Structure 1
Amino acid sequence: MRISLILLISLTLLASPGCIQDKALINQKDSAQVALNKDQTALPKGTFLDELDLSGREAEEARTMIKKWEEDKLAENLLLVYNEKEVPVVLKELGVTLDLDKVWEELGRIPGQRISSALKIDTAQLQQVLLQKFPGVNRSAVDASYKIDNDRFVTIPAVSGRVIHVDALRDKLQNQSFATLPKRLEIPVVEVPAVKTTEEMQALAFDGIIGEYSTQFNVKDQNRSVNLTKAAQKLDKVLLRPDETLSFNETIGPRTAETGYKDAYVIVNNEYVQGIGGGICQVSSTLYSAAALANLPITERYPHAVVISYIPMGQDATINYPNLDLKFTNDTGSLLYFRTEVNSGKVTVRIYGKKTDKTVRLEQKIEKETPFQTIMRLDSNLSPGEVVQEQAGHKGYIVQTYRIVKDGSGKESQKLLSRDEYAPTQKIIRVGAD
């Protein structure tokens, strides 16, 4: 009796030479059926799957043999290796199976010949097993960072991450057959670079003081000393990143009794009167001079209305929250780090940055002088004829301030930093009324 040998496969196939090509797909649901020549009752002689001899086997018998053969193969061990660590695994654990559809396709396409087994890999299962067997391999990258230790910039290097290249291992396995599958397989690992590199962090490093200035104050004026010290502490250890702009008002914050500031002398209408936060301008003026000597671009700054005693003309910077501010930009490419010190009647501002071969100095040129006047004011609180000087008189000036920069070769360049006009401080005398 003639029986047709039916090969079950997952793809639509064409019959091989010697097969009737118009025997098409029959009862196709999840698989397709390809009929061999009606004269064939079994697989031709010479049909092998790897080393498995299927010659003369009918379809169902061949399928049973292949299934048993696959189970035996999947029970075999494979050594996975990473960094000299060897871990034995069973092939089935790795999500490896025989691609039976491809096998049937090849048997139908070239009957009577030796074909190689084709493997399928479950990627999710492969990944899960690799993570279980090699739990310490995958690690996240750690960005480079820094810390400041004793006013020194310390770079904490980046650490690259690594991850098992599951797809590469899957592709390597799928390109093998049971016959060619190696018994020892290296785990492919790829490096995951950090987002912030060590080199990028080192570029931010500062290596010394690039601008420094000090001014003196009267420690006996307690309220003024409190205000000055509080503002200086707010500025201490501030960091300014490249291309950022420092705002003195934003850094120090509002100056009110609620924020701890006290009444001290301030300048109003060219006269010294009591006002909240007096003395803070000395910190802003000291900072401005340090920034100018650090060769930083000044984007906002206002002189006082009159000459002040603690700093040269043209180097002061008055502030009034939130209207008048001192601002400058970090154009150095590295971090700027600010330190302030208040000690024994002296306030000092130091700006740390990346040092260059340039040196900077400031020079003033008086364009014009204006004499002060003496103002007499009657005071009923004084005895008749008693005279008290309430405010000393000082001339007014128009002053040009230049920033002179000298490079490593000794060449100097000069630039006008500001042209400031200071009104005279009138001499005020109080006289007792008769």
Structure 2
Amino acid sequence: MNERKEPLDRDSQKEHEPVNSTQPSSSWYSRFFGWVKSHKRKIAAVFGMISIIIIGLGTYLAMHMDEAPLPHGYRVMGIDAGGLQPAEVLTKMNEQIAAFEGITVQFVPDRTDNRLDPLMEQTFTLKELGFTFKNEEAVNQLHQWEEGNIAHKWKLGRELAEESLDIETSLHVDQMTNAVRKSFGTTIDREPKNAQAQYITPFKVKYEEEVDGWELDEDKLEQSLIQLVSKLKSHPDTTQTMTVRMPLVTIPADLTVKTLKTRKPNALLGEYTTLIANRGEGHAHNVRASAKALNGAVVSPNQQIRYSDIVKETEEQYGLMMAPVIENGRMVDGIGGGICQTSTTMYNAGLLAGMGVVERNSHSLPVPYVPLGRDATYSTDGPDLVMTNETGGDVVWTTRVEGNRLKVQVYGQQLPGITYDVITEQRNSPVLKISNQITDKIAPEQSSIIVDSYRLKKRNGVVVNKERLPQSRYKLHQEERIEEKERY
């Protein structure tokens, strides 16, 4: 009998189907997603809370990083800036700069001399002496920290933690030197004073000692102040006045007493005498007055003596009077007549003493007190007599008026065996003889006379040099016009 088998339902069939061991089980997926599905509201709430926390934390950090203090280990100008805000550090930096600028300095003499005592009477601040203090790099770093974002601060903080910036110093040298020179003047810049020789007589001298001068050594002063500031940067002391030696350079006097003693005259080098004509009180006064002004004149080696200076002193000390002068080729009365006799006598004494001739001019008309070619005229703003000292020592001039005689003497250092003589050569003939009395007609037929003069230098009586002197030219008619007024 055949039995009829009913088919199983699908579930039952599946339930009895053999399980394939290689097919993964999906039960935990089902359970997980089922759990998520059933708890999706709670999960969404949790994620929302987490997002809020993260955003809040980020906002909090961002807000507080803007006010984050500088990293520890960061030092600026000796200030421990770690944990401080940039504004606080800038304030401390400015206080430090002000303290350095306000440090006082007093200068002390670098030698023993009471003329330098004024140095101790004044102090200067470093700022007054031209010092400035700063650190631009630190200022830039502080501004970067203050303005940077989180990432920038994070990076910069690691760099600053190992940074130590010193104070930067600058010195304006011109301000330094101007400050000390304005305050101390000749105390630190003093001209030397040469020794002086006062000749009481040509052989008796009173000496005044030389005095050395000094001037500021700007380079050493700059170095000294920079060294002082360098020490202060390492060990700052803003409470005490710092002392610095004022460096001065000695300027020796050009002329010492020792040198002057070697230039003292030892002999009469030359003298000349002329006769003073009787042309009235004014003429005699002018001769005597100009002789007094020349008396005692001292000419140093290689220096000049100008008769115009003697005339100026004559006018200031004694005044000049009216006396005969040569004007426009004629003898007329004028101020200063007679002073040319002193210049002429001086010229001849100087020639015999070996003085050099720089300028000499003859009168326009012959004069009676010296041979032709031996006179030396003078006129205000015109011809002058200028001689130079070509000896190795001082030359001292002396004058003396005895009766109607004027004597001029020149003292100096005598070279052994050396003497001088003067000769003249008249180109025209006959030789003109000049009377001591001036008349309206003093000239012969000739219109002029030319005279050549020479100085002979002799050694032990033997001529060793013949020097040509300035030529002389004389007009022989008073009517001929002469531009200068000569004092005769």
How do 1:149-188 residues align onto structure 2 when only pairs under 5 Å count? Answer: 149-150=198-199, 156-162=210-216, 167-168=222-223, 171-172=226-227, 175=230, 178-181=233-236, 187=244
Higher-Rg member (1/2): 2
**How far does residue 236 in structure 1 lie from its aligned partner after superposition?**
4.0
- Is the alpha carbon distance of 1:67 and 1:263 closer, same or farther for their aligned partners in structure 2, counting shifts above 3 Å? closer
**What is the alpha-carbon distance in structure 1 between the residues aligned to residue 308 and residue 459 of structure 2?**
29
Assess if the C-alpha contact under 8 Å between 1:302 and 1:326 holds in 2: no
- Is the alpha carbon distance of 1:155 and 1:47 closer, same or farther for their aligned partners in structure 2, counting shifts above 3 Å? same
Query: Which amino acid in structure 2 is aligned with residue 191 of structure 1?
Result: L
1:18 corresponds to which residue? none
Equivalent of residue 405 in structure 1, options 457, 470, 473: 457
- Is the alpha carbon distance of 1:88 and 1:358 closer, same or farther for their aligned partners in structure 2, counting shifts above 3 Å? same
Equivalent of residue 2 in structure 1, options 51, 58, 61: 61
Query: Which amino acid in structure 2 is aligned with residue 103 of structure 1?
Result: A
2:362 corresponds to which residue? 302
Equivalent of residue 215 in structure 1, options 263, 269, 273: 273
2:306 corresponds to which residue? 246
Q: Which runs of 5+ in 2 are unaligned?
A: 1-59, 111-118, 145-155, 434-441, 443-448, 477-488
3-state DSSP class of the match of 2:234? Answer: coil
Equivalent of residue 342 in structure 1, options 377, 385, 401: 401
The answer as to 2:125 corresponding to 1:99 is no
Give the TM-score of the pair, scaled to structure 2.
0.51
Query: Which amino acid in structure 2 is aligned with residue 297 of structure 1?
Result: V
Q: Which one has the bigger helix percentage?
A: 2
3-state DSSP class of the match of 1:187? Answer: strand
Question: How many corresponding residue pairs?
Answer: 357
The answer as to 2:105 corresponding to 1:53 is no
**What is the alpha-carbon distance in structure 1 between the residues aligned to residue 233 and residue 349 of structure 2?**
76
3-state DSSP class of the match of 2:454? Answer: strand
- Is the alpha carbon distance of 1:72 and 1:361 closer, same or farther for their aligned partners in structure 2, counting shifts above 3 Å? closer
Assess if the C-alpha contact under 8 Å between 2:400 and 2:407 holds in 1: yes
3-state DSSP class of the match of 1:2? Answer: helix
- Is the alpha carbon distance of 1:167 and 1:335 closer, same or farther for their aligned partners in structure 2, counting shifts above 3 Å? same
1:191 corresponds to which residue? 248
Query: Which amino acid in structure 2 is aligned with residue 316 of structure 1?
Result: R
3-state DSSP class of the match of 1:231? Answer: helix
- Is the alpha carbon distance of 1:250 and 1:207 closer, same or farther for their aligned partners in structure 2, counting shifts above 3 Å? closer
**What is the alpha-carbon distance in structure 2 between the residues aligned to residue 137 and residue 261 of structure 1?**
48
**What is the alpha-carbon distance in structure 1 between the residues aligned to residue 425 and residue 373 of structure 2?**
13
How do 1:1-400 residues align onto structure 2 when only pairs under 5 Å count? Answer: 1-3=60-62, 41-49=68-76, 52-60=79-87, 62-63=89-90, 70=96, 82-83=108-109, 99=134, 101-105=136-140, 110-119=159-168, 138-145=187-194, 147=196, 149-150=198-199, 156-162=210-216, 167-168=222-223, 171-172=226-227, 175=230, 178-181=233-236, 187=244, 189-191=246-248, 198-199=253-254, 207-208=264-265, 212-217=270-275, 223=281, 224-236=283-295, 246-247=306-307, 251=311, 259-262=320-323, 279-293=338-352, 294-302=354-362, 308=368, 311=370, 313=371, 316-317=374-375, 319=377, 321=379, 325-330=383-388, 332=390, 338-351=397-410, 359-364=418-423, 370=430
Q: Deviations over 1:197-222 (max 9, x none)?
A: 62278999664378542315369876
- Is the alpha carbon distance of 1:52 and 1:214 closer, same or farther for their aligned partners in structure 2, counting shifts above 3 Å? same
3-state DSSP class of the match of 2:355? Answer: coil
**What is the alpha-carbon distance in structure 1 between the residues aligned to residue 97 and residue 329 of structure 2?**
99
The answer as to 2:469 corresponding to 1:417 is yes
**How far does residue 299 in structure 1 lie from its aligned partner after superposition?**
2.7
Q: Which runs of 5+ in 1 are unaligned?
A: 6-37, 374-390, 392-396, 425-434
1:29 corresponds to which residue? none
**What is the alpha-carbon distance in structure 2 between the residues aligned to residue 149 and residue 404 of structure 1?**
33
Query: Which amino acid in structure 2 is aligned with residue 327 of structure 1?
Result: L
Query: Which amino acid in structure 2 is aligned with residue 299 of structure 1?
Result: E
**What is the alpha-carbon distance in structure 1 between the residues aligned to residue 410 and residue 388 of structure 2?**
11
3-state DSSP class of the match of 1:198? Answer: coil
3-state DSSP class of the match of 2:322? Answer: coil
Query: Which amino acid in structure 2 is aligned with residue 301 of structure 1?
Result: N
- Is the alpha carbon distance of 1:356 and 1:87 closer, same or farther for their aligned partners in structure 2, counting shifts above 3 Å? same
**How far does residue 321 in structure 1 lie from its aligned partner after superposition?**
4.2
Q: Deviations over 1:314-333 (max 9, x none)?
A: 56315374698452343649
3-state DSSP class of the match of 2:254? Answer: helix
Q: Percent identity?
A: 12
3-state DSSP class of the match of 2:285? Answer: helix
Query: Which amino acid in structure 2 is aligned with residue 415 of structure 1?
Result: E
Query: Which amino acid in structure 2 is aligned with residue 178 of structure 1?
Result: K
**How far does residue 226 in structure 1 lie from its aligned partner after superposition?**
2.9
Q: Deviations over 1:175-217 (max 9, x none)?
A: 56733558995525343676xx622789996643785423153
Assess if the C-alpha contact under 8 Å between 1:163 and 1:190 holds in 2: yes
2:20 corresponds to which residue? none
User: What's the RMSD between the two structures over aligned residues?
Assistant: 6.0
3-state DSSP class of the match of 1:150? Answer: strand
Query: Which amino acid in structure 1 is aligned with residue 134 of structure 2?
Result: D
3-state DSSP class of the match of 2:248? Answer: strand
**How far does residue 77 in structure 1 lie from its aligned partner after superposition?**
7.8
**What is the alpha-carbon distance in structure 1 between the residues aligned to residue 421 and residue 87 of structure 2?**
99
**What is the alpha-carbon distance in structure 1 between the residues aligned to residue 67 and residue 259 of structure 2?**
80
**What is the alpha-carbon distance in structure 2 between the residues aligned to residue 172 and residue 77 of structure 1?**
14
Q: Which one has the bigger strand percentage?
A: 1
3-state DSSP class of the match of 1:297? Answer: strand
